[in-house]
Chain A
């Protein structure tokens, strides 16, 4: 199926999505990768609030290149997600509804996704110039000192992603690989 979805994501939308569905996202998406995740989880451990409300929101694992004059953002493809596995369940427990990245997740993340009803989208790694054309606005909202790793609020229009792990644990990495595997 192909869906056009607006953010923040509703429970209903998350529940309907199945691994393999294509989605065009429109609305706000927040960026965060290694260093920002570490900072967010440390803040939560200290009992502080986060720089943005997680409820219903989506985190995009990306560290963009600098914008040239006249550009909103530079190239902005997904980074590998497993490095955020250690932090993701804590954020899902606090309302995060979607993640965008590339590559498979560990068991703890998938269990937390099922428990919290969260969806994991894949964007095409290395299609960074193409993806940038779906980003209409970008603003650093936290951890500016982290440079490319700062948290940005992006406004996206028809941002192309695929549901790779759904909220029931359906996993495209497993099912599609098996179809083409031919190993003695």
Chain B
């Protein structure tokens, strides 16, 4: 068994919190720049220009790109030949988030109870998705998720007879209704199949894929391209103020499902779709 100390997990994660929140990933940066040149709306071009300028300031000053530094979503793949030493892995992940959000002057956006809404003061707990995998490594992916776009996400339990056309319809409706609320240009993560909880997890994972990298499955890749084209004809545009840049990418993940079901989950993400990862 390979041993990994909780201290290593804490240190890596706290650094990832700052990195993910202050540096716009190059795939998003490039996508915004490309769209800016094509955008027909003058207001839209102006907004995209401001987003690039903002990303440059954030990187230079190591300031958060967006004030909504999100709820910390952590995907943790644990090799089955790894033994975690020095404490609980879940506690270590939360400690990493706590330290990162404090050190990085990031916003603490988590409330203890959904109704009484007292801030926990340290942005914990994180939402953690564990996966046990072969090998002797631990892989951590941190995706801080803002709620302007999270609130615009939807799940539909379609009937199998709704088919691919039904799925496309609800995906486009969700993008259209999200409008300016979700800080477009959006990245759209879609999970199709599985069960009621599996589909949104797939959708969340789909957001981690680099913008512009299509699905390895042929028909899924075609669906992604068609939906991106149609999303950009909705007119929503940058910040919802009109234009042909509504989405930067549509990413779809699929999974086997039940004979009676066709779950479709759409996780909307903003133009600051963030993630950082590391392997220990």
A residues lining the B interface (CB < 8 Å): 20, 35, 62-68, 74-77, 79-80, 82, 102-104, 122, 124-130, 132-133, 146-149, 162, 164, 172-173, 175-183
Contacts and interface: CB of A to CB of B under 8 A. Distances in A.
B50 A124 contact: yes
B50 A127 contact: yes
A7 to B, nearest CB: 21
Interface string B49-68: 01101100110010111111
Nearest to B243: A180
A20 B42 CA distance: 11
A144 to B, nearest CB: 12
Given A126-B54, A178-B235, 5 more contacts: A63-B68, A102-B240, A129-B65, A177-B237, A181-B233
Main secondary structure of the interface of B (DSSP, over half): loop
B43 interface: yes
A-B pairs with the 5 shortest C-beta distances?
A176-B242, A181-B235, A103-B181, A180-B235, A125-B183
A66 B103 CA distance: 11
Contacts of B82: none
Contacts of B258: none
A172 B107 contact: no
Interface in B111-133: 117, 119, 121
Contacts of B240: 102-104, 173, 177
Interface of B: 40-41, 43, 47, 50-51, 53-54, 57-58, 61, 63-69, 105-109, 117, 119, 121, 148, 151, 179-181, 183, 230, 233-237, 239-244, 270-272
B65 A128 contact: yes
Given A74-B64, A124-B51, A147-B121, A129 B57 contact: yes
Given A79-B68, A147-B121, A180 B41 contact: yes
Contacts of A104: 179-181, 240
A130 B237 contact: no
B270 A125 contact: yes
B43 A176 contact: yes
A183 B234 contact: yes
B41 A64 contact: no
A162 B241 contact: yes
A68 B244 CA distance: 37
B239 A102 contact: yes
A148 B241 contact: no
Nearest to A132: B63
B40 A65 contact: no
A182 B235 contact: yes
B54 A183 contact: no
Contact of B53 (A130, A132, A162): A130
B241 A65 contact: no
- In the complex, which of the residues B106, B119, B121, B241 has the most CB atoms of chain A within 10 Å of its own CB atom? B241
B183 A102 contact: yes
Given A75-B58, A104-B180, A130-B53, A180 B242 contact: yes
B241 A126 contact: no
Contacts of B107: 63-66, 74, 148
Contact of B63 (A75, A102, A180): A75
Nearest to B178: A103
Contact of A67 (B41, B105, B121): B105
B235 A75 contact: no
13 contacts: A77-B66, A103-B180, A122-B241, A124-B54, A127-B50, A162-B43, A172-B242, A176-B237, A176-B243, A177-B179, A177-B241, A180-B40, A180-B41
Nearest to B241: A176
B251 to A, nearest CB: 19
B181 A102 contact: yes
Contacts of A64: 67, 107
Contacts of B68: 63, 77, 79
